[in-house]
A and B are shown apart, each in its own frame.
Chain A
Amino acid sequence: MTQIYETMVLLDNDVVRADWKKAKAIVTDTVAKYDGKVHTCRRWDERRLSYPMKRKNRATYYLTYHEMPGDTISGFLRDLELNERVLRYMMLKVEECPEEERKLAAEEEGSDYEVPAPPEDDAIELPEEGEGDATMDDVPTDVPAEAAATAVEPAKEG
């Protein structure tokens, strides 16, 4: 038995800006892989996240309404979970696809659709992993070698 679902997927902005069609395909292909049928899919918004997810401060919200057999749901969710480009997802049961969503999705389907430019505060991102860690290169060169060695030496227990 199939059921209609509303799935909100948070996509990595790097993929969205590199290639919008490729970003859309992350969701639509996964739905198709598990015998699902996409009713509507559209870019809902691009927002600053209330808290960082996978070291990202912004994400593109992709909203899709689709139907899918119940026995394939677990595989579908697992694929989304394993995809590194998907920051987070939420899948809800709905009774029907809203008419307004169909209109908005139809507008986006046009070939002249372009992803809006990112806002000015978009550049603020968290540092990459390991960027803030101290290394031997950070030790000043004018410090004597013995002092430099003790500066990075871990504290002994006891």
Chain B
Amino acid sequence: MKRRIRTVIGSKNCDDPVIDYKETEYLEKFLTPQGQILSRRRTGFCTQCQKQLKTAIKRARHVGLLPFVG
């Protein structure tokens, strides 16, 4: 039987402004303790919002605001 993951973290409307890489406290919610980006299934984001999230996290990692690992 397939296990259902009920924990959905995201709460973003697609009309909201683009996710900014400087909002590190917000972005940290979408990372695992190992620093991986959560899947769309876990975040509850639509495709476009998940893509924004991915870009913002990768930018934040580049400037050292978020870790690549751990």
Partner of A50, one of B22, B59, B67: B67
Complex alpha-carbon distance, A92 and B22, angstroms: 13
Size of chain A's interface in residues, with CB distance under 8 A? Answer: 13
Interface contact A51-B64, CB-CB below 8 Å: yes
Q: B62 contacts which chain A residues (CB < 8 A)?
A: 88, 90
Q: Give the residue name and chain of the A residue nearest to B35 (CB).
A: A50
Number of A-B contacts (CB under 8 A): 26
Size of chain B's interface in residues, with CB distance under 8 A? Answer: 10
Shortest Cβ gap from A85 to chain B (Å)? 16
Q: Give the residue name and chain of the A residue nearest to B66 (CB).
A: A50
Known: A44-B22, A90-B59. A51 touches B67 (CB 8 A): yes
Interface contact B63-A10, CB-CB below 8 Å: yes
Complex alpha-carbon distance, A59 and B63, angstroms: 10
Complex alpha-carbon distance, A8 and B66, angstroms: 15
Complex alpha-carbon distance, A50 and B65, angstroms: 6
Complex alpha-carbon distance, A50 and B69, angstroms: 9
